[in-house]
Chains A and B, each alone.
Chain A
Amino acid sequence: MTAARLTAALAWSALRTQPGRSLVAALAIAVGIALGLAIHLINHSAVAEFSRAVASLAGEADLSLRGRMPEDVFAALAGDPDVAVASPQLELRVNLPGRREPLTVLGLDPFRAAALAPQLVGRPVEAPDGGRGPAGGGLALLEPDVVFLSPAALEWLGLAPGDRLPVQVGVATRELRVAGSLPAVGAGRRLGVMDIAGAQWTLDHPGLLTRIDLRLRPGADPAALRARWADRLPAGTRFETPGESGERGANVSRAYRVNLSVLALVALFTGAFLVFSTQVLSLLRRRPQLALLRVLGLTRGGLFALVLAEGAVLGLAGSVAGAAGGIAIAALSLRLLGGDLGGGYFNGIVPALSVSPGAVAGFVALGVAASLAGCLVPAWSAARARPAAALKAGDEETAMARVRSPWTGLACFAAAGALLSAGPVDELPLPGYAAVACLLVGGLALMPWLTARLLTLIPDAWARRPVAGLALTQLREAPGYAGIGLAGVLASFSLMAAMAIMVASFRVSLADWLDHVLPAQLYLRVGGGGETGFLAPADQEAIAATPGVARADFLRSRALSLDPRRPDVLLLARAITRDRPAARLPLVGDPVPVPRDAVPVWVSEAVVDLYGVRAGDAWTLPLGGQGLPVVVAGVWRDYARQHGAVAMAMEDYRRATGDARVNDVAIWLAEGADPGRVQAALRERLGAGEGLSFVEAGELRRISLDIFDRSFAVTYLLEVVAVGVGLAGIAVSFGGQALARLREFGMLRHLGFRRRDVDALLALEGALLSAIGVAAGLGLGWLISQVLIRVINPQSFHWTMDTAVPWPLLLAVSAVLVALATLTSVVAGRRALSVGAVRAVKEDW
């Protein structure tokens, strides 16, 4: 009891005497916890909302058939003796003029949906005058131009029952009547519901279904039904239970989520490191005091517990603050960015924040654990120290002897190499991340040894001048201090450099790629994210015949489901000639010759990774009912679609599907034609207002790079945080060192050093140390960037890139870091020296 209280009192006083250091360490942990918890909460909320949406769509169905299919499948399935209710659906992402994001509209048969998912059957709202209501009254449910909107959709669109909703169909705008709402659809789901016949007709998707929900007769076996129908279903459709659908939602965003979480772990790791450095320096400073306590009867275990208790207090304070911050960040992000942090995985889902106490407790525990881990080594070494030796002055260095051996660091590097040769685990680049951690730890462990080696390289001539000589001697003879100070610089700067190199490489590769995929001057897009915007054959002819258009390349893109457990890939049909595919696609490697009678397709790198096909393989695409046999003729790089894309020649696509519609047009202008005039002429011919979007190649390129920069904004933010935390770490280390060297500075003053000379000494030490740290950080950062570029990126996002090092940025940041570190060491030293030379010398006696 008394021992515990004594431990607590001592721990508290230790933390209080170094408030700055404690604060920074706790802050770093707080940042890590806040980011980690925020990412977890945002994703958890989004997945929960997604699952609710999936559950509400499926209602009480036992089984759903999903995928694009002709409506005959419905008649056949509904007639199966095991099927009690079959509810056909047509789900379309409907383009809204003037809005980027489409609205998901479900066409269904209210008679059949009422049995399975009554919440999806609209409630007509009577007109206030009691007369012919907004939808003309009760038969409203079946009217072809009537839509019922969920509360979230009404709010998003700023509409009320009775209003009109303009939608884009082809290049025309049609008006739907909002006849009422869907009060029982979850608050976070933007959804419209129409009659299925109205959806097929008004939204111009005749004969198409995307889903059939089934309720089976009592006693019927879903597995038997699946097996019975397995061979009779059109290519690209599959059965799914409601559970399987929900699972897919969680999988979609997994890679993205894991990558963000790893960034949060980096911050947490930095926190643990700062706790470590704080505790090492604090223990060095308190060495005599602690030795005295040991002599007075404090046991080794007691001392160990004391140091750990200090760490626990730091960790708890940081974690609790971080948890609060994390919840705030999550709430704000959900409001501003939506549930996928801008990743685009949960279309139409507007999740409400759901905070699970378990997750919060878990993250707090994680923060405390990280802090305790940072304390373990210092606590262990403090507890092992022999009190008699520790009581003497000048003993500090021996405590650090342990970290001077290079073997730990080299072992870590070897481990990193071993990890890199392993493939991804469960499709996540976990070994890659572990390798980064190993490289980082290895780099830190190597630092004291490396510093000592580097310092011996400095010519002796430099050491003749008194100040420089002293600085060098100090650094050479006492590399323990230096190592700790360096570690902060190294950890933060190497991560920052790695990220910078990766992002720059990505951006340069992306810019090259954009040049390749945007060969024309003008691009016309109909219906960005939706499915109801398209150009019919007549529109295409009109475009090609417009004066000023030298050539028009049409592109059809549509989702294709190759594997029910994965997100859809994008099918791109465009003018590709089988002999010169490289004219349209940024091919990676050489194209493979394809037999004349085979249908060639070119797949993106993601398709190779995810579906295991290689150039030259025979393959089947779920097109045209029976499935279309194709041959993989080549692999191309695609930064736009991480779930994969398959390109094929337009004529092959049309032959297989009969679908003559297109979404995008690349337009080459005639010599001397004015892009503005051509746009105006095209608009006039097509007669579409907001539904058509024109963009010039340069603009499209700029927009793409802007989107790139925006999506890496989180990364930039984390970089700044890492560098800031690293700098704070330097300040802490140098301040601590200066305090520990009070006696030395006092003695120097007695020997005739001016205050200026001490400043110069400290500045030189700081500059040398940070220069070494930055140089090592650059090297380590380059190593880590290669892991990011060659391992983690291809494994997470399935694309490759070429390394490009942003030298100006790195050199500028290096210079700033060295300057800041120099300044920091001087300021820290001055503060420490303010106690006066006499007292400083006296302290030792």
Chain B
Amino acid sequence: MPRRRAAWLLALALAGLAPVPGRAAGPAFAAVVPGAPLSFPRDHGAHPDFRTEWWYVTGWLDLPDGRSVGFQVTFFRTRTGIAPGNPSRFAPHQLVFAHAALADPAVGRLRHDQRAARAGFGLAEAAEGDTRLVLDGWTLDRRGRTYAMDILARDFRLALEAEAAGPPLLQGEAGFSRKGPRPAQASWYYSRPQLAVRGRLAVEGRETAVTGRAWLDHEWSSELLDEAAVGWDWAGINLDDGGALTVFRLRDARGNTRWAGGSRRWADGRQRAFAPGELAFEPRRHWQSPRGPARYPVEMAVTVAGPGGGTWLLSPLLDDQELDARASTGNLYWEGAVTALRDGRPVGRGYLELTGYGTRLRM
């Protein structure tokens, strides 16, 4: 669950809305308890009783000239708990945020843009029943096995279709994904790896046809972050052999692992969830942010013990994939396209998220 929390907070705080610690005495949010199986397509849609939820698409796009760029398109939904009795159609019961970024080595840093609005009036909605998200013209919809997204950002436009090859990859125990030592620290979490992408990308007025491979995460929860954790590392890799690798860990103030998890799925559909003790993260190369005190382990070796394990080296498409939101929140974090190497040979591509470096994430 803490994965993507950074971006969630970022979006929230963009509008000066960072939630307050200790503000627990609100309405009852739905709890994440194991047992109830996920059911599709219902669980493709929003779960407005839970505090927070996201649909997170990350991937690599191959341009006609042979170059590759990374992209992310994220929609967040959050239930505020403010004045549940307010009958106004503007009442901010649910907020919708969206975030889009493009990682191009030729630019040397991220192009990004964001949106935020209260749900309502058909302008900002996270529909129940299926994936239908809209926010001031930005859309993400599921049609059968295909996710369609249209994002007109400040300095680029993404119009993509991403087709899933297999069924949803349920993380943890059938989608119940623990995020801390306490059982309540958990989320509902499934992924759609190996999405075949085709569509169009327009940058600076030049539109090109693109193809690529992407990954979608859908996660929802009500529980707050473990109090000892200051940040987290996460990676989701589409392996070239058709498999998928998910790893994440929560770090405490000393940089030690507080909790870890993830999964491996093979091309034939076999799947194994990792136990917290089976994962090791080892920074290999750091990159110093020019914008703040953060030093990110942009090159990271991830070792998984047990069946289907091994060591993958995650190497960034470009070093500066830091998202700068200091103007609104003071938060800086790293979310970037990476190549996975095994024994020096590329075996997959995906995304790495690094949060809580430099300063503890402000909440």
Q: Are A142 and B80 in contact (CB under 8 A)?
A: yes
How many cross-chain pairs have Cβ atoms below 8 Å apart between A and B?
A: 90
Residue of B nearest to A195 (CB): B92
Whether A71 contacts B90 in the complex (CB less than 8 A), given A79-B123, A136-B20, comes out as: yes
Q: How many residues on chain B are close to A (CB under 8 Å)?
A: 27
Which residues of B lie under 8 Å from residue A88 when comparing CB positions? 90
Q: Say whether A560 faces chain B, with CB atoms less than 8 Å apart.
A: no
Q: Say whether A201 faces chain B, with CB atoms less than 8 Å apart.
A: yes
Q: Are A138 and B123 in contact (CB under 8 A)?
A: no
Q: Say whether B277 faces chain A, with CB atoms less than 8 Å apart.
A: no
Complex partner residue of A206 from B17, B88, B92, B121, CB under 8 angstroms: B88
Residue in B16, B87, B136 whose Cβ sees the most chain A Cβ within 10 Å:
B16
Q: Say whether A132 faces chain B, with CB atoms less than 8 Å apart.
A: yes
Q: How many residues on chain A are close to B (CB under 8 Å)?
A: 33
CA gap between A110 and B18 in the complex, in Å: 14
Q: How far apart are B69's CB and chain A's nearest CB, in angstroms? A: 24
Residue of A nearest to B12 (CB): A138
Which residues of A lie under 8 Å from residue B123 when comparing CB positions? 75, 78-79
CA gap between A136 and B83 in the complex, in Å: 13
Q: Are A201 and B87 in contact (CB under 8 A)?
A: yes
Q: Say whether A345 faces chain B, with CB atoms less than 8 Å apart.
A: no
Which residues of A lie under 8 Å from residue B83 when comparing CB positions? 143-144, 197-198, 201
Q: How far apart are B255's CB and chain A's nearest CB, in angstroms? A: 28
CA gap between A111 and B18 in the complex, in Å: 13
Complex partner residue of B82 from A71, A110, A142, CB under 8 angstroms: A142
Mark each residue of chain A from 104 to 123: 1 if its CB lies under 8 Å from any CB of chain B, else 0: 00000111101000000101
Mark each residue of chain A from 131 to 149: 1 if its CB lies under 8 Å from any CB of chain B, else 0: 1110011110111100000
Which residues of B lie under 8 Å from residue A207 when comparing CB positions? 88-89
Q: Are B22 and A131 in contact (CB under 8 A)?
A: yes
Q: Are A132 and B90 in contact (CB under 8 A)?
A: no
Q: Say whether B254 faces chain A, with CB atoms less than 8 Å apart.
A: no
Q: Say whether A74 faces chain B, with CB atoms less than 8 Å apart.
A: yes
Q: Are B15 and A110 in contact (CB under 8 A)?
A: yes
Q: Are B20 and A139 in contact (CB under 8 A)?
A: yes
Q: Are B19 and A201 in contact (CB under 8 A)?
A: no
Which residues of B lie under 8 Å from residue A136 when comparing CB positions? 20, 23
Mark each residue of chain B from 67 to 96: 1 if its CB lies under 8 Å from any CB of chain A, else 0: 000000000000010110011111110010
Q: Say whether B116 faces chain A, with CB atoms less than 8 Å apart.
A: yes
Which residues of A lie under 8 Å from residue B121 when comparing CB positions? 71, 74-75, 78
Q: Are B16 and A201 in contact (CB under 8 A)?
A: no
CA gap between A132 and B22 in the complex, in Å: 8
Q: Say whether B122 faces chain A, with CB atoms less than 8 Å apart.
A: yes
Mark each residue of chain B from 113 to 133: 1 if its CB lies under 8 Å from any CB of chain A, else 0: 000111001110000000000
Complex partner residue of A143 from B19, B82, B95, B117, CB under 8 angstroms: B82
Whether A138 contacts B17 in the complex (CB less than 8 A), given A75-B123, A78-B123, comes out as: yes
Query: Which residues 5-41 of B have a CB within 8 angstroms of A?
Result: 13, 15-20, 22-23
Q: Are A201 and B86 in contact (CB under 8 A)?
A: yes
Which residues of B lie under 8 Å from residue A133 when comparing CB positions? 20
CA gap between A260 and B228 in the complex, in Å: 72
Query: Which residues 75-92 of A have a CB within 8 angstroms of B?
Result: 75, 78-79, 88
Residue in A88, A133, A206 whose Cβ sees the most chain B Cβ within 10 Å:
A206
Q: Say whether A124 faces chain B, with CB atoms less than 8 Å apart.
A: yes
Q: Besides A111-B15, A111-B118, A198-B88, 10 other CB < 8 A contacts?
A: A75-B121, A110-B15, A138-B17, A142-B17, A196-B88, A196-B90, A200-B90, A201-B86, A206-B88, A207-B89
Chosen A-B contacts, 13 in total, with CB atoms closer than 8 Å, are A71-B121, A79-B122, A123-B16, A131-B22, A132-B23, A136-B20, A138-B17, A139-B20, A142-B17, A142-B118, A143-B83, A197-B90, A207-B88
B residues engaging A (CB < 8 A)?
Answer: 13, 15-20, 22-23, 80, 82-83, 86-92, 95, 116-118, 121-123, 136
A residues engaging B (CB < 8 A)?
Answer: 71, 74-75, 78-79, 88, 109-112, 114, 121, 123-124, 131-133, 136-139, 141-144, 195-198, 200-201, 206-207
Leading 9 A-B pairs by shortest Cβ distance: A137-B20, A197-B90, A75-B121, A197-B88, A197-B91, A200-B88, A142-B92, A144-B83, A138-B18
